[in-house]
Amino acid sequence: MGKTVLTGKHFWYGNIAIAEGAIAAGCRFFAGYPITPASEIAEHISRRFPQIGGIFVQFEDELASMAAILGASWTGVKSMTSTSGPGFSLMQENIGLGAMMEVPTVIVNTQRGGPSTGLPTLTGQGDVMQAKWGSHGQYEIIALSPDSPQEAFDLTIRCFNLAEKYRVPVILLASETIAHSAGKVVVPPEDEIELVYRKKPKVPPEEYLPYRPDEDLVPPMACAGEGYTITTTGLTHNEKGYPDTTAEAQEKLARRLNDKIRKHRKDIVDVKEENMEDAKIAVVSYGQVSRPAKRAVKMAREEGIKAGSIKLITIWPFAEHVIHKWAKQVEYFIVPELNYGQIYLEVKREADGNAQTILIPRMGGTLFTPREIYQEIKKVNKK
């Protein structure tokens, strides 16, 4: 047997860190389809899984890959797929099914420039809103965004933990920049990695209702072949899992699917704040943009400008309470994004007129330089 957790210091590309993070999280089923710039994740897993007894399948497309990871998760196995924009679009169908059936699973999207085939080899952050509501209907999902290979490793593990805890598909919103940047990754000893597993039923099969939630709004999950005779459907269903296509059932189910995430926002949301104590200008960033943003804030501080940085590690659910809080202190939020304003609008909404929100847009392809963000801070500071 090969080693499952590669404890030690490594110099890894982001994609390798993601694959190793998944293995360390206990993922033993991977289904995917080749796509730039995500393919190295599948390649690495196809090499590693036979060593450690995981199931790897390269499917005919992303539709199948997404369906297969849901099926695998229904046996109690932790499952994952990885893709980029065009494949992510195809996966939306069964991401919706995963939300509806409440299936713990992880989807990695190493974003590239879009729309459509766009920039296969270059970076972007255009899939932020798609990650939230790319599938039809009203649902809530979890998405995390890493800014380095180390964070890619760490957050992949957290994606699995959140998926298991809340019975929901979780998206790692990475990007080409992270996928293809190499950096130091420290893998802790196996027993120091905290892993979460889905709740199992505490009652015998005859008393078990597959969609009766506990107080935390998450139902315990019996899996296939465990004697619980479960039934599940993408149709609106009742606590037995039987189709119930009425307005009443819809109100109850769809509301709970949203509330189980919304009501745990503070548990799920993770942000990193720096230099915020006396800040009047806050740069709100996520993913790879956090790195030039952090540097830009440092440059501004050296000039005596009261700038701070809020890095969103959790993208969805949105860090409403964080922005709301700082909006009372800061005068400006500056949001640099590799799109034409997606998180910007969320920040603006939560600032609610208490602070001005300024977008630094870029359509993707390259990352901001620290100076570009710094200049915007300076410009705002003069106002």
Partner 1 sequence: MSKQISKEEKLEELHPMDKWLRSERMPHIWCPGCGIGPTLYAWARALDRVGIDKDKVVYVSGIGCSGRGSGYLNVDGFHTTHGRAIPFAIGIKLAKPELCVNVISGDGDLFSIGGNHFIHACRRNDDLLVICINNFIYGMTGGQLAPTTPRGQYATTAPYGNIEHPFNTPHVADASGAVYVARWTSIHVRRLEKSIAEALTMKGFRYIEVLSPCPVNYGRRNKLPEPDDIAEWFRQSSVVRNGADTSEVQIEKDKPLILGNFVKRVEKLTYYEGLKKLEERVRGAR
Q: Please, which residue, 231 or 246, has the CB nearer to partner 1?
A: 231
Check residue 225 and report its DSSP letter.
T
Please select the residue that binds partner 1; options are 8, 11, 51, 117, rule is CB under 8 A.
51
Please select the residue that binds partner 1; options are 200, 225, 340, 366, rule is CB under 8 A.
225
CB of 199 to partner 1, least distance (A): 18
Instruction: Determine, following the binding rule CB under 8 A, whether residue 254 of this chain makes contact with partner 1.
Output: no
Q: What angle do CA 160, 217, 219 make, to 5 degrees?
A: 70
Instruction: Determine, following the binding rule CB under 8 A, whether residue 83 of this chain makes contact with partner 1.
Output: no
Task: Specify the DSSP element, H or E, that contains 23.
Answer: helix 14-24
Q: Please, which residue, 3 or 379, has the CB nearer to partner 1?
A: 3
Instruction: Determine, following the binding rule CB under 8 A, whether residue 234 of this chain makes contact with partner 1.
Output: yes
Q: Please, which residue, 39 or 232, has the CB nearer to partner 1?
A: 232
CA 300, 306, 307, 310 torsion: positive or negative? positive
Between CA 347 and CA 139 the distance in angstroms is 20
Between CA 190 and CA 333 the distance in angstroms is 40
Q: Please, which residue, 41 or 57, has the CB nearer to partner 1?
A: 57
Residues 6 or more apart in contact with residue 159 via CB below 8 angstroms: 25, 106, 142, 144, 170, 171, 172
Q: Please, which residue, 80 or 293, has the CB nearer to partner 1?
A: 80
* Spacing of C-alpha 297 from chain mean position: 25
Q: Pick from 28, 35, 95, 23: which is nearest to 59 by CA?
A: 35
CB of 56 to partner 1, least distance (A): 8
Q: Please, which residue, 98 or 336, has the CB nearer to partner 1?
A: 98
Please select the residue that binds partner 1; options are 121, 138, 231, 369, rule is CB under 8 A.
231
Q: Please, which residue, 42 or 128, has the CB nearer to partner 1?
A: 42
Tell me the Cα Rg of the chain.
21
Q: Pick from 333, 326, 336: which is nearest to 285 by CA?
A: 336
Retrieve residue 357's tokens: 């929100």
CB of 144 to partner 1, least distance (A): 23
Instruction: Determine, following the binding rule CB under 8 A, whether residue 209 of this chain makes contact with partner 1.
Output: no
Letter for the amino acid at 301? R
Instruction: Determine, following the binding rule CB under 8 A, whether residue 6 of this chain makes contact with partner 1.
Output: no
Q: Pick from 277, 265, 285: which is nearest to 337 by CA?
A: 285
**34 to each of 37, 38, 60, 152, 375, how far by Cα in Å?**
9, 7, 10, 20, 39
CB of 240 to partner 1, least distance (A): 9
Instruction: Determine, following the binding rule CB under 8 A, whether residue 74 of this chain makes contact with partner 1.
Output: yes
Instruction: Determine, following the binding rule CB under 8 A, whether residue 75 of this chain makes contact with partner 1.
Output: yes
Number of chain residues interacting with partner 1 (CB under 8 A): 48
Which range of residues in 162-170, 196-204, 228-236, 365-373 is near partner 1 by CB under 8 A?
A: 228-236
Please select the residue that binds partner 1; options are 36, 71, 133, 188, rule is CB under 8 A.
71
Retrieve residue 239's tokens: 């606590």
Instruction: Determine, following the binding rule CB under 8 A, whether residue 92 of this chain makes contact with partner 1.
Output: no
| Contacting residues toward partner 1, per CB under 8 A | 1-2, 28-29, 31, 50-51, 53, 55-57, 59-61, 63-65, 67-77, 79, 93-94, 96-97, 224-235, 241-243
